Amino acid sequence: EVQLVESGGGLVQPGRSLKLSCLASGFTFSNYGMNWIRQAPGKGLEWVASISSSSSYIYYADTVKGRFTISRDNAKNTLYLQMTSLRSEDTALYYCARRRMDFDYWGQGVMVTVSS
Amino acid sequence: DIVMTQTPLSLSVAIGQSASISCKSSQSLKYSDGKTYLNWVFQSPGQSPKRLIYQVSKLDSGVPDRFSGTGSETDFTLKISRVEAEDLGVYYCCQGSYSPLTFGSGTKLEIK
C-alpha cells in the first residue's frame, strides 16, 4: 500500500525557517517524481514545487522561488521541503504527492502556521 | 502560466441525479509526448485530496464508473451520474503538462 506521511510542521515566526519531510513507503520511491502542494485555510490547492526521481529536474512556483528548496534522499525514501524567510501567506496545510505530472497519491498533510 | 477556469463554483444536486463540472485551460494541455495531463482531484470535508481521473478520462482504481471525464486540448468535463451522498465535497481540475502546475479554483458539490 502506497503511503506518504508528512511531518515537521508547526508554528513559526515570520522570517524564520522550517523543514518538512515526507516519508514514502509501499513503492519504489526512487522511481517517481514528487511534489509539494499546499492549501491555505479555507482555500484551494496551490502547487509549490516538484522534483524528478533522480533530482535532475526541479521546479518551483514563483511565490516560493528563492525561499523554498525541494530535495529528496532516495536511500531514506524521504522528500523534503526546506522553507526559509517564511511569510504569513505561507500558512497552509502542506501535502506531498507522488508523480510529478498527475499526482496519483497524496499524504494526509502537515500544517504550517506563520505568525508572531 | 496556464489558467484553469472551473465552472460552476458550486453545485447542489439531489441523490440519484447527475452533475457536470466544466474546466477550461488557457492553452492546450497536450504535452510533447502526445498525452494530455488533465486530472480531476476530489477532496471530501476534512480529508486530503484524492485523484479520481487522470489523462482526461482514465479512472483511478476503485473509482466508481459513475464518474467519467471527457475533453481535449482546452475543454474538459467531469460528469457524475447518479450522485451519491459520499460524493459531497470539492472537485478540482489540475494540469500537469506544463510548469507551473495549476489547479482550478474548485467546485463544491452539495447534496440537495
What digits encode the pLDDT tens for the residues B82-111?
999 999 999 999 999 998 999 999 999 999
- B57: contact with A, CB 8 A cutoff: no
* Cα–Cα distance measured from residue A54 to residue A40, given in angstroms and rounded to the nearest whole number: 29
- B61: contact with A, CB 8 A cutoff: no
Query: What pLDDT score does A27 carry?
Result: 97
Average pLDDT over residues B41-68: 97
Query: Could you tell me the pLDDT band of residue B18, with boundaries at 50, 70 and 90?
Result: very high
Q: Name every chain B residue with its beta carbon within 8 A of the beta carbon of A107.
A: 48
Q: Give me the residue from A47, A104, A106 closest to B101, CB to CB.
A: A47
Query: Could you tell me the pLDDT band of residue A114, with boundaries at 50, 70 and 90?
Result: very high
A55 by DSSP, 3-state: which? coil
Suggest the residue from A2, A45, A48, A52 to mutate for an interface test with chain B (most B CBs closer than 10 A). Answer: A45
CA distances from B38 to A46, A106, B46, B93 (A): 15, 17, 24, 7
- B48: contact with A, CB 8 A cutoff: yes
Query: What pLDDT score does A75 carry?
Result: 98
CA B31 to chain centre: 19
User: Rounded to the nearest 5 degrees, what angle is found at the Cα of B89, between the Cα atoms of B87 and B95?
Assistant: 100
Percent of chain A whose pLDDT exceeds 70: 100
Mean pLDDT (chain A) is 97
A29 by DSSP, 3-state: which? helix
- B96: contact with A, CB 8 A cutoff: yes
Per-residue pLDDT tens over the stretch A32-89: 999 999 999 999 999 999 999 999 999 999 999 999 999 999 999 999 999 999 999 9
Q: Which residue of A has its CA nearest to B47?
A: A108
Residue pairs between chains A and B whose CB atoms are closer than 8 Å: 59
Suggest the residue from B2, B41, B48, B91 to mutate for an interface test with chain A (most A CBs closer than 10 A). Answer: B48
Interchain contact, A103 vs B106, CB within 8 Å: no
Query: What pLDDT score does A102 carry?
Result: 87
Q: Give me the residue from B48, B90, B100 closest to A108, CB to CB.
A: B48
